Amino acid sequence: MLPSSTKGSSCLLPFVGSPGLGASAGRDGNRFFRFNASLRAENKASALHATEIVRRDYLVKEKEQYDLAVRPPTYTFSPALSACAPIAASNLVGFYGRYEQDLIPNHSCGTLLDNGYIYSIQDEAIAALTRQLYDYMGTDETGTTEAEFLCGLRTYCRARGRCVSIFSCMSSGVFDFSKAKMYIESNLPIVFFVSGYNIGYMSEKKHRDSVGYIISPANHVMVGFGYSVHSYVTARGSAADYYFTVASGIESNPSGIYNINYKTTIIDALAVNIY
């Protein structure tokens, strides 16, 4: 977590990110983030999603990586349809449960090992948490707006005697990777509000990386708990790919890597501190 001098002074800290408006506007002009957590990867092509494999052949590769946990929270319990926002908030709260006692009642957050922290799998306490966030956000079959997400998260944390500070990862309305990287390295997870998304799984072999993706054009909310940068020298020049390790909120693909430049638009991205 950030040092106390940089946390923010109030539970009611104003939202400092970009407004997150878009073509799929709804309540109060805000974008809905609708998705059912029960995406089935075996349906390889549908109106909602498809699967793709992208390969990159290279001569030389360098990799930079930073993760907040060996296994971060990857909860997917969905109390109803269109629950990606409360599920994402549950993963955020779950992350901070390691540091904040009683943030999640009746739940053991995880185990500290020599090589890092492993978060526990979801249980009934996480299901209860997600139901509560669903109610606090006012989520319904149409989804959740970004403003409702923030209000619901703050309401839950305030009820547990905690505060929430929000830090934007945007610059002039565009995602700023350097900002997000800085916040991750300060032990703050990133919540992504996106239009279209990918969840990838990488196979790394000598002189070839392959990433299998599930792709969807839907609006979605997910949480980043780490980043990696893969820099390549290829026969045609140089290239780089930028990923975040995410809790997707999707039952059949609960975690993976999110390529910020592949068939996705980041509407907003916020670093979140709960304390």
Task: Write the DSSP string, the chain.
Answer: ---GGGS-S-TTPPP-S-----SSB-GGGPBB----S---TTS-B-SS-EEEEEEEE-SEEEEEEEES-SB-------SSSS-HHHHHHHHHHHHHTTTSTTSSTT---EEEETTEEEEPPP-HHHHHHHHHHHHHHT-BTTB-BHHHHHHHHHHHHHHTT--EEEEE-EETTEE-HHHHHHHHHTT--EEEEEEEEEEEEEEEETTEEEEEEEEEEEEEEEEEEEEEEEEEEETTEEEEEEEEEEEEEETTEEEEEEETTSS-EEEEEEEEEE-
- Residues 28-44 pLDDT 10s: 556 677 655 443 323 33
Distance CA 199, CA 213 (A): 5
CATH T-level fold of 48-274: Cathepsin B; Chain A (3.90.70)
Instruction: Find where tokens 């500290």 sit.
Output: 112
- Asked if 129 and 79 touch (Cβ cutoff 8 Å), the reply is no
**58 with 208: CB under 8 angstroms?**
yes
Type of residue numbered 22: G
Contact indicator for 32, 144 with CB cutoff of 8 Å: yes
The CA–CA distances, whole Å, from 105 to 78, 129, 147, 150 equal 19, 9, 26, 21
Ordered by start, the domain boundaries in the chain are 48-274
Tens of pLDDT, residues 112-137: 999 999 999 999 999 999 999 999 99
Provide the residue type at 159 as one letter.
A
CA distance 275 to 181: 21
CA gyration radius, the chain: 18
**Contacts (Cβ under 8 Å, ≥6 apart) of 122:** 75, 76, 77
Place of tokens 């009683």: 102
Query: Residue type for 211, please?
Result: V
Query: Closest Cα partner for 35 from 129, 148, 142, 133?
Result: 142
The residues of the chain scoring below 70 in pLDDT are: 1-31, 34-48
Query: CA angle at residue 157 from 178 to 145, to 5 degrees?
Result: 65
**CA distances (Å), 108 to each of 103, 116, 210, 268, in order?**
11, 16, 36, 31
Confidence at residue 49, expressed as pLDDT on a 0 to 100 scale:
78
